[in-house]
Amino acid sequence: MALQKRLEELAHLVNGRLIGRGDTVISGVATIEEAAPGAITFLSDQRHLKLLASCRASAIVIGEWGEGVAPEGGKDYIAVKNPQLAFAALIELFRPASMPAPGVHPKSEVHPRAELGEGVSVGAFAVVEEGARIGPRAILFPNVYVGRNASVGEGSVLYPGVAVREDCVVGSRVIIHCNAVVGSDGFGYAREGRAYHKIPQRGIVRIEDDCEIGACATIDRATLGETVIASGTKIDNLVQIAHNVKVGRDSVIAAQTGIAGSARIGSGVQFGGQVGVVGHIEVGDGVMIGAKSGVTNSVPDGAVVSGIPAIAHKEWLRAAAIFGKLPELKKRISELKKRISELEKRVEELEGNGKR
């Protein structure tokens, strides 16, 4: 039987203020476009108020800006400080994640000298090598690999295909999605003539608490020392973090971003998709970098940059507005050069006639 909750219960759960009828029964969550009667949805900000007219949901989570909204069309509201965060709690209530039960699957391989904490789940064909440490209530889905002397902290979840290589450290409550690799060798070679000789990569990766790593992301081990992802940072799918990079706390890095070796990324940064950062530079705290930007020089704290090479975002917008007009401008410049040339010839002719 589907879970059913009265709207007043949900308002209490998300610490919101009820606008409308508390006895409205809610049996599910849905997007504002797909919601049907009996469902609750959310509206993130006032820019999308026009969607209310066609919304069929029985209730809507809105921001505190909506406390003056009068119930209309049979809908009721819950006003909260952060609609997205409140709706996330409702998703967890109505559609809880399905996680495997504690226990070690008989088809997994756990070394006798590995340490498993209380309540750990190890799925089929997962491998935990000698000296590895898995914290309490951590979950290793099928086909996860945890290398020799590596550690995975309490309550962390590693989805199928994740590899945590030897000696690397994953903190507590970390989520790592399918086929991500933690601790692959850094891209380091010494050149001799035309040949490239591998530089041994003997450092580690350290992922601190409460991070999330997307599917197929790769975080390379340091040559020596540590590659570090500080606590609270969220990394999207298909992101490459090179050897010896340091990423600060509570940063967000979107898909297909690449950060080259030994770059230093501050705390609270926000990277759009497909950002490229060259090695050995510093990106300060609170920096925002637009999608597809190429960062070739250090960026000071709090800056907002875009473009290739990345410059101040406002300057980039002005430059981008000109790009589409370049063919027209080129044609106009050619015409002006031709006219100037003709005028110069005319002046020379007039001067020549005057001398005679």
- pLDDT above 80 for 323: no
At residue 339, φ and ψ (nearest 5 deg) are -65, -40
Q: Does residue 130 contact residue 152 with C-beta atoms inside 8 Å? A: no
CATH homologous superfamily for 103-315?
Answer: Hexapeptide repeat proteins (2.160.10.10)
For residues 181-211, one letter each, b for 16 or more C-beta atoms within 10 angstroms of the residue's C-beta and e for the rest, the string is bbbbebebeeeeeeeeeeeebebbbbbbbbb
How many Å apart are CA 306 and CA 70, to the nearest integer?
Answer: 42
pLDDT value, residue 289:
98
> pLDDT (tens digit, 9 = 90+) per residue, 106-120?
999 999 999 999 999
Residue 33: exposure state from Cβ atoms within 10 A (0-12, 13-18, ≥19) = exposed
For domain 5-94, the CATH superfamily is MurE/MurF, N-terminal domain (3.40.1390.10)
Domains of the chain by residue range: 5-94, 103-315, 325-356
- pTM of the prediction? 0.88
pLDDT tens for 22-74 read 999 999 999 999 999 999 999 988 777 888 888 999 999 999 877 666 555 56
Question: How far, in Å, CA of 215 to CA of 46, rounded?
Answer: 33
Residue 243 among the catalytic residues:
yes
Residue 240, CA distances (Å) to 210, 243, 258 in order: 19, 10, 5
Considering the candidates 105, 197, 243, 280, report the single residue annotated as catalytic: 243
**pLDDT tens digit sequence for 329-355:** 889 999 999 999 989 888 887 877 766
* Sheet containing strand 311-312, strands side by side: 103-104, 121-122, 139-140, 157-158, 175-176, 212-213, 234-235, 252-253, 270-271, 288-289, 304-306, 311-312
How far is 334 from 168, CA to CA, in rounded Å?
Answer: 61
Element (H, E) at 89: helix 83-94
| Domains 5-94 and 103-315 agree in fold | no
Segment 74-83 mean pLDDT: 90
**Beta strands 39-42 and 25-26: pairing type?**
unpaired
